[in-house]
Chain A
Amino acid sequence: MAGRETAIEQVVEMNELLEVQGIGKRFRGLLAVDDVSFRIPQGSIFAVIGPNGAGKTTLFNMIAGVIAPDRGRISLDGARIDGRRPDEICRRGIGRTFQLVRPFLGLSVEDNVMIGAMLQRPDLRAARRHAHDVLERVDLVGKRAQIASGLTLPDRKRLEVARALATDPKLLLLDEVMAGMRPAETDRMVSILTELNRGTGLTILLIEHVMRAVMALAGRVLVLHHGAAIAEGPPGAVMREPAVVQSYLGAEAIA
């Protein structure tokens, strides 16, 4: 165990992709995120968990550029990205999904993904080919001609993953992508994400409530509670920490 920890530390030292240092955000009187720091190594899967209201979404939105942190810094590949606009963050290599899915409802599945692909491919035919490839990877290619408004929720979630992937991100941010899915659909998403991570070396940051998915996917887990990080480590170890059990898992893990 000790040896494995050392190996991970060395990887972190050598090529971390995302570095979050002491970021904080206050909304009026509420301290939503308080001095949170973590690092995500290249090629890893990192999860942020915590009860409702713990500050997960605020943290996510600061990384995605939707809101600017009050303090601290966020760096991608060594370059600071905090306070940048969402479109700039995407161009620098971070793709995201939305907790409440927001596909382009009036457009076809293929056009949804093609719009993502056009970021790196001004040529429309190349973008369409890439969209086709990405749809194959998330198992949606059979529905490419359908209008997005006709998709079921699990399909819409995979469409959002595909659309974000099409922008060729270095880091994929997933905001509760398993929420509202049945176990079989969760497993399907887990296997798609595992495949992406292993096959293409894609780094993934997921904010997740579904522990089944977190345990299956994440190499490291950060636990937030009242805006502060109360634990970080491999999922198995984190789940056994008394603070985590008490604050979060005590209620939900037994249920």
Chain B
Amino acid sequence: MQFVFAGASGRAWVLLAILLAVLCAAPWLAGDYLLTVLITILYLAYVGQAWNVMMGFAGQLSLGHAIYVGLGAYAAAVLYVNFDIAPWIGMLAAIAIAAACGALIGYLAFRFGVGGVYFAILTIAFAEFARIGFDHFGWVGASAGFFLPVANYARNDLWNLRGNPTMFYYVMLALTAAGFALCHALLRSRTGYYWQAIREDEEAARSLGINTFRYKMIAVVISGGMTAVAGVFFAFYYNNLFPEQVFHISRSIEIILGPIIGGIGAPFGPIVGAFLLTGASELMQNVLIAIGFDVPGAKQVFYGVALLLVVIVLPGGVWPWLAARLRLSKS
């Protein structure tokens, strides 16, 4: 699954170059609506990538990744509004806080042998703690929310992340590309191979001298830190944070759908999944409106059925199938 580049055919490189060129040119080609859809797609591709480090690479199922988004978002937003610290600096604090939170969850679970579904439940519990805690955290607005001043969109201020959708689009595109490059490099490193060994069979990994506790900790810390960066983007893009929204379990589920549909384990999986899911969702909405079948909930039903079909027909995700069909690998 991880032969994305090592065995990549010339065809794969050409397709990747075309895709990148189209994405770079998108603000000139797409209207406002399509651009916001693309921002959502890239955002989900990035957080899916971050989640994939834990699940797809190291085999640790987190169902509470919204906690890292939320912590990152609040950290950078509070530092910006209350202390006038630019988001790119605040991001460092966001990463540190989320990584520390990941380390705490990881330590509790891995030190005391909480694995599999029990680990997943622990991650949900922590995200719920955070949601309820922030609901009562008066300093950051509690349940009434925390707001960033909405900037004058006439001028882009990249340093303070105040600007129009085009700027946010390019920021998200850069983050997605960087996340992809990081994950690709990680997967092909010693750490990445050790993660895969743990994912495949932890006891066998231990028998080969791998300190599985240590490498699982590295996975949760990197994944949490990466996800916090998306949280910073979230805060400055939407300008408002409500605990009931950012920490909600539906956010955590939204994060993991892309990689599952796209294919976990490979860095292209979350990207393909985000395009398919968000694309299909938006398309379905427009089709339903166009044919006059705008019944509330209809979109969700069709969406659910589509997800079910993908999972049944392509249990490994779309990416491995797509890569084989397009003959992207030399072998």
Contacts and interface: CB of A to CB of B under 8 A. Distances in A.
Interface in A55-101: 64, 66, 85-87, 90-91, 95-96, 98
A167 B197 CA distance: 14
B210 A102 contact: no
A122 interface: yes
Contacts of A114: 193
B193 A86 contact: no
B84 interface: no
B239 to A, nearest CB: 43
A90 B207 contact: yes
Contact of A107 (B189, B200, B207): B200
A252 B37 CA distance: 71
Nearest to B209: A90
B111 to A, nearest CB: 13
A132 interface: no
A106 interface: yes
Nearest to A94: B207
Given A87-B209, A119-B209, A107 B204 contact: no
Contacts of A116: 208
B207 A115 contact: no
A176 interface: no
Interface in B177-192: 188-190
A73 B163 CA distance: 69
A interface, size bucket: 20 to 34
A115 B201 contact: no
Contacts of B201: 102-105
A222 interface: no
A117 to B, nearest CB: 9
Nearest to A111: B193
Given A64-B207, A115-B208, A164-B207, A122 B200 contact: no
Contact of A103 (B193, B204, B206, B212): B204
B211 interface: yes
Q: Is the interface of B mostly helix, strand, loop or mixed?
A: helix
A118 interface: yes
B204 A167 contact: no
A119 B211 CA distance: 11
Contacts of B188: 124
A91 B200 contact: no
B331 A106 contact: no
A104 B204 contact: yes
B197 to A, nearest CB: 5
Contacts of A106: 1, 196, 199-200, 265
A145 interface: yes
B194 interface: yes
Contacts of B203: 66, 86, 98, 102
B207 A104 contact: no
A163 interface: yes
Nearest to B196: A107
Contacts of A119: 208-210
B204 A98 contact: yes
A245 B201 CA distance: 39
A118 B206 contact: no
B190 A167 contact: no
B206 A115 contact: no
B196 A104 contact: yes
B251 to A, nearest CB: 29
A39 to B, nearest CB: 23
Contacts of A87: 206-212
A91 B209 contact: yes
B213 to A, nearest CB: 9
A167 B212 CA distance: 16
Contact of A104 (B1, B197, B209): B197
Nearest to B1: A106
Interface string A159-196: 00001100100000000000000000000000000000
Given A87-B206, A106-B1, A115 B212 contact: no
Given A87-B207, A104-B201, A124-B188, 6 more contacts: A66-B203, A103-B201, A115-B193, A118-B190, A118-B193, A167-B208
22 contacts: A64-B207, A86-B206, A86-B207, A87-B210, A87-B211, A90-B206, A90-B207, A91-B209, A96-B207, A104-B196, A104-B197, A104-B201, A106-B1, A106-B265, A107-B200, A115-B193, A116-B208, A118-B194, A124-B189, A145-B331, A167-B208, A167-B209
Interface of B: 1, 188-190, 193-194, 196-197, 199-201, 203-212, 265, 331
A-B residue pairs, 3 tightest by C-beta: A104-B200, A90-B209, A119-B209
